[in-house]
């Protein structure tokens, strides 16, 4: 329902720069997720879109209209706050009703909508309670209903599911997604849960220190990270990073030589391989098992090798190795990611392989 | 086990004395004992010579039927207490709190500091200042402005609007208490509630109406009760500035009691009237307690002491 454009939008408080000048376009009806470490400016960005904070610079447009000066109440956005921000003296019912009451919607229509949205997020049993009498997850769902009830043209979700149990989170995730589809609301979801981001969003924005590091599909971020930051932030357990020196067509990590397969590089280069892309084999890089962490369907091994520690993810059904067992590692050249350490950027098309 | 229980009981007793002892001693020394003494004197004929010759209920008979001045004093007191509360201590205090918290921090603190000045200045200095402000000649501060600068006729607040004068006099001091309590209550409201209300479509006034005021229900009750009671018994500023005059126009009940007892030496009658004030105070406090649901102001203890 709205196409959102940010052009060099920034926010700072005195010397504190929360968001650096940022360009971003979110298409009408698109669902994007924002990932990034704590304090990287996710909430600040949402607050600027909601009209709670005025940008320090740049221009913010909804459907081509500059909205920098438009007050929050005239923007028709819905927001779920990280802290829920339910009105403590109002019942659940009145909380959800509040935006409709302010918009002077006819009473019977407003009541019907409250019922409908309360049922949608499964709080229809709790309408007479006050927020203090609700669990964290229930409060979160009420906040969601309050944000949705006015059918906003932009929905901003600041970690809206963080307090739900795993099952409920999964249902709510699906619920939000199908609701968003049906209502066609442009939505932005801030989350710390990568699974959530990848399953719910069309595109993911990865932020760090007030800057957008990369925007792309889940595959883009996972398979083709632009920078060392994105590579190490996306993926769990995190990617293995090994620092080496590139010369004479190979990457040298201490004494070990890893020849370049495609292209080449010079200077300080970091090699990244994801734990799930390493396998045990008859030969290859020799190492010993330092730790074993069963994780249910998969088992995580921490291995000591001449070129550093590696974490390796194996399905638990394969042969189990004990601590101190000697193993050999293999990885395919196409799974290697190489980064220039000076610029922190990925070296596109460059790969290494085990000799 | 038995030993353990005895030890625990002993500790509970020790804790009781430790935690409540000082408060009980103070309560006894400064509340119960004076009231007992007051009751005793109220039933005597103690006069200027401090001699007691008989025990009598004459003071109460006089109070109920013989004191022609009392009706006027009661009306003045009512006007004074309700007026000061309604105009200054609650309404203006609330207004100050809301305004000084919605402008930037430094300006807000500055204005609050200004409104604290009357409370912090010694009462005599404050009273002298007022005496200068309301001086009915052209030398009074007020008249220097209204008469000297604006050319209006001379104003004599003391004679023209005496009750309004004592309301303003006390209100300037009283407003700061509400202001401080309300300010800290407003500060305690999570900022996100304001953000949420804005996004939900509330105007500035609607934010105050739906977010700020509901959170101030308890502080408002508290200030109303507390200030009503303290206005009822305080008279120092009135005494210093108008001395109850002109004639008896600004003689509030507490001041009337003081005058009867200490200026006319009718100690026994004064004690009887003070007793009535104590009774009124207790009744007012209890009824407001019920009426305003003060019980919910009291939180259950955060930690349990065994
Ligand atoms: N009102 C403020 N005044 C000054 N600095 C602020 C203010 N709000 C946020 N910041 C700073 O801006 C930066 C970004 O904050 P923001 O709340 O956007 O982080 P976030 O990405 O939402 O983090 P989290 O995941 O922990 O919620 C932080 O360094 C924070 O300290
Ligand atoms: Mg945040």
| Nearest residue of B to residue A74, measured between CA atoms | B201
pLDDT digits (tens, 9 = 90+) for B74-98: 899 999 999 999 999 999 999 999 9
Ligand 1 centroid, distance to A40 Cα (angstroms) = 7
Residue B242 — pLDDT band, cuts 50, 70, 90?
confident
Q: What is the distance between the alpha carbons of residues B284 and B123, in angstroms, rounded to a whole number?
A: 27
Tokens 């001449």, located at residue: A306
**pLDDT for position A304:** 93
Pocket test for ligand 1, best of A12, A40, A47, A84 (most atoms within 8 A of CB): A40
**Beta carbons of B203 and A79 less than 8 Å apart:** no
What value does the mean pLDDT take over residues B198-203?
94
Which residues are near ligand 2, the ion (C-beta closer than 5 Å)? A 43
Which residue of A85, A100, A104 is the best one to mutate when testing the B interface, meaning the one whose CB has the most B CBs within 10 A? A85
B289 has a pLDDT exceeding 80: no
Q: What is the distance between the alpha carbons of residues A206 and A211, in angstroms, rounded to a whole number?
A: 9
Kindly state whether A85 is in contact with chain B, defined as any CB-CB distance less than 8 angstroms. yes
Of all ligands present, the nearest one to the C-alpha of A13 is 1
**pLDDT for position A164:** 81
B299 has a pLDDT exceeding 70: no
Domains of chain B by range and CATH? 70-252 (1.10.3720.10)
pLDDT digits (tens, 9 = 90+) for B19-41: 888 999 999 998 889 889 888 88
B295 has a pLDDT exceeding 70: no
Of all ligands present, the nearest one to the C-alpha of A18 is 1
**pLDDT for position B7:** 85
Coil, strand, or helix at residue A5? strand
Sign of the torsion angle spanned by Cα atoms A187, A193, A198, A199 = negative
Sign of the torsion angle spanned by Cα atoms A67, A70, A71, A75 = negative
B161 has a pLDDT exceeding 90: no
**pLDDT for position B4:** 72
Q: Is A166 in the pocket of ligand 1 (CB under 6 A)?
A: no
| Nearest residue of B to residue A100, measured between CA atoms | B200
When CB atoms are compared, the residue of B193, B199, B201 closest to A79 is B199
Chain A residue numbers with beta carbons less than 8 Å from the beta carbon of B293 are none
Read out DSSP for B123-184? Answer: HHHHHHHHHHHT-SSTTSHHHIIIIIIT-PPP--HHHHSHHHHHHHHHHHHHHHHHHHHHHH
Cα distances from B173 to residues A62, B184, B216, B227, in angstroms, run: 51, 18, 21, 11
Please identify, by atom number, the ligand 1 atom nearest to the C-alpha of residue A37: 25
B285 has a pLDDT exceeding 80: no
Q: What is the pLDDT along chain A (355 residues), one digit of tens a residue?
A: 689 999 999 999 999 999 999 999 999 999 999 999 999 999 999 999 999 999 999 999 999 999 999 999 999 999 999 889 999 999 999 999 999 999 989 999 999 999 999 998 889 999 999 999 998 889 999 999 999 999 999 999 999 888 888 888 888 888 889 889 988 999 999 998 888 898 899 999 999 999 999 999 989 999 999 999 999 999 888 999 999 999 888 899 888 889 888 777 788 999 999 999 999 988 888 999 999 999 888 999 999 998 889 999 998 777 888 899 999 999 999 999 999 999 999 998 888 888 8
Please identify, by atom number, the ligand 1 atom nearest to the C-alpha of residue A207: 21
B302 has a pLDDT exceeding 70: no
Ligand 2 centroid, distance to A36 Cα (angstroms) = 10
* pTM of the full structure: 0.80
**Beta carbons of A50 and B199 less than 8 Å apart:** yes
Sign of the torsion angle spanned by Cα atoms B231, B233, B238, B244 = positive
Q: Which of A7-11, B55-59, B271-275 has the lowest mean pLDDT?
A: B55-59
Residue B306 — pLDDT band, cuts 50, 70, 90?
low
Half-sphere exposure for A240 (CA within 13 Å, toward CB): 23
Chain B residue numbers with beta carbons less than 8 Å from the beta carbon of A47 are 195
**pLDDT for position B2:** 56
- Assess whether the previous peptide bond of B246 is cis (omega < 30° from 0): yes
Nearest CA distance, B84 vs chain A (angstrom): 29
Residue B292 — pLDDT band, cuts 50, 70, 90?
low
**pLDDT for position A3:** 94
Which residue of A44, A49, A102, A153 is the best one to mutate when testing the B interface, meaning the one whose CB has the most B CBs within 10 A? A102
**Beta carbons of A146 and B200 less than 8 Å apart:** yes
Give the rounded distance of the alpha carbon of B266 from its chain centre.
26
Chain A residue numbers with beta carbons less than 8 Å from the beta carbon of B201 are 73, 99, 102-103, 150
Q: Would you say A205 and A215 are in contact if contact means Cβ atoms under 8 Å apart?
A: yes
Q: Would you say A30 and A2 are in contact if contact means Cβ atoms under 8 Å apart?
A: no
Cα distances from A318 to residues A208, A296, A299, A315, in angstroms, run: 38, 13, 9, 6
Comparison of pLDDT for B225 and A93, the residue scoring more: A93
Burial per residue of B115-145, b for 16 or more beta-carbon CB atoms within 10 angstroms, e otherwise: bbebbeeeeeebbeebeebbbeeeebebbee
DSSP state of A39: T
**Beta carbons of B199 and A87 less than 8 Å apart:** no
What value does the mean pLDDT take over residues B134-140?
84
**pLDDT for position B64:** 84
Edge-to-edge strands, sheet with A267-273: A337-340, A267-273, A240-247, A250-253, A256-262, A351-352
Chain B residue numbers with beta carbons less than 8 Å from the beta carbon of A83 are 190, 192
Edge-to-edge strands, sheet with A308-315: A278-281, A326-331, A285-294, A298-305, A308-315
**pLDDT for position A93:** 96
């Amino acid at each position: 329902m709205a196409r959102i454009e940010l052009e060099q939008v920034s926010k700072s408080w005195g010397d504190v720069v929360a968001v650096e000048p940022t360009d971003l376009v979110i298409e009408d009806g698109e669902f994007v997720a924002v990932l990034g470490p704590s304090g990287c400016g996710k909430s600040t960005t949402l607050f600027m879109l909601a009209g709670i904070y005025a940008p320090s610079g740049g221009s913010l447009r909804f459907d081509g209209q500059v909205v920098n000066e438009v007050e929050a109440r005239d923007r028709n956005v819905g927001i779920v706050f990280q802290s829920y921000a339910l009105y403590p003296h109002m019942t659940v019912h009145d909380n959800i009703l509040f935006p409709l009451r302010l918009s002077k919607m006819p009473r019977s229509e407003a009541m019907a909508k409250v019922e409908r949205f309360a049922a949608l997020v499964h709080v229809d049993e709790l309408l007479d309670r006050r927020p203090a009498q609700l669990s964290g997850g229930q409060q979160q769902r009420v906040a969601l209903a309050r944000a949705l009830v006015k059918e906003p043209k932009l929905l901003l979700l600041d970690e809206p599911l963080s307090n739900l149990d795993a099952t409920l989170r999964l249902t709510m995730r699906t619920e939000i997604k199908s609701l968003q589809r049906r209502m066609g609301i442009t939505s932005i979801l801030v989350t710390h849960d990568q699974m959530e981001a990848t399953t719910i969003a069309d595109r993911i924005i990865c932020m760090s220190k007030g800057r957008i590091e990369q925007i792309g599909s889940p595959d883009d971020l996972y398979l083709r990270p632009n920078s060392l930051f994105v590579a190490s932030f996306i993926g769990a357990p995190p990617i293995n990073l090994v620092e080496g020196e590139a010369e004479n067509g190979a990457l040298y990590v201490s004494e070990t030589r890893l020849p370049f397969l495609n292209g080449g590089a010079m200077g300080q280069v970091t090699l990244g391989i994801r734990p799930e892309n390493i396998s045990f084999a008859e030969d290859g890089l020799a190492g010993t098992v330092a730790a074993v962490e069963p994780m249910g369907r998969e088992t995580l091994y921490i291995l000591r090798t001449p070129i550093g520690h590696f974490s390796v993810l194996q399905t638990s059904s394969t042969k189990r190795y004990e601590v101190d067992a000697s193993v050999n590692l293999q990885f395919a050249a196409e799974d290697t990611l190489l980064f220039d350490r000076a610029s922190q950027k990925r070296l596109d098309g460059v790969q290494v392989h085990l000799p | 086990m038995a030993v353990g229980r005895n030890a625990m009981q002993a500790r509970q007793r020790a804790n009781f004395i430790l935690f409540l002892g000082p408060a009980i001693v103070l309560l006894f020394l400064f509340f119960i004992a004076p009231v007992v003494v007051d009751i005793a004197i109220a039933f005597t004929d103690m006069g200027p010579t401090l001699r007691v010759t008989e025990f009598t209920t004459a003071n109460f008979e006089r109070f109920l039927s013989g004191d022609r001045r009392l009706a006027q004093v009661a009306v003045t007191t009512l006007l004074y207490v309700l007026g000061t509360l309604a105009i200054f201590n609650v309404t203006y205090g609330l207004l100050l709190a809301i305004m000084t918290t919605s402008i930037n921090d430094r300006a807000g603190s500055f204005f609050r500091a200004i409104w604290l000045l009357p409370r912090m200045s010694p009462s005599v200095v404050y009273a002298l200042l007022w005496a200068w402000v309301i001086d009915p000649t052209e030398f009074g501060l007020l008249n220097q402005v209204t008469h000297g600068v604006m050319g209006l006729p001379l104003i004599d607040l003391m004679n023209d609007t005496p009750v309004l004068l004592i309301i303003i006099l006390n209100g300037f001091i009283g407003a700061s208490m509400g202001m401080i309590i309300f300010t800290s209550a407003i500060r305690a409201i999570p900022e996100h509630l304001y953000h949420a209300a804005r996004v939900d479509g509330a105007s500035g006034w609607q934010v105050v109406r739906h977010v700020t005021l509901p959170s101030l229900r308890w502080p408002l009750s508290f200030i109303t009760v507390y200030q009503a009671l303290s206005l009822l018994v305080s008279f120092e500023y009135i005494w210093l500035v108008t001395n109850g005059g002109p004639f008896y126009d600004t003689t509030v009940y507490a001041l009337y009691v003081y005058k009867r007892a200490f200026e006319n030496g009718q100690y026994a009658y004064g004690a009887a009237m003070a007793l009535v004030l104590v009774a009124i105070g207790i009744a007012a406090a209890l009824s407001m307690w019920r009426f305003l649901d003060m019980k919910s102001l009291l939180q259950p203890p955060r930690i349990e002491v065994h």
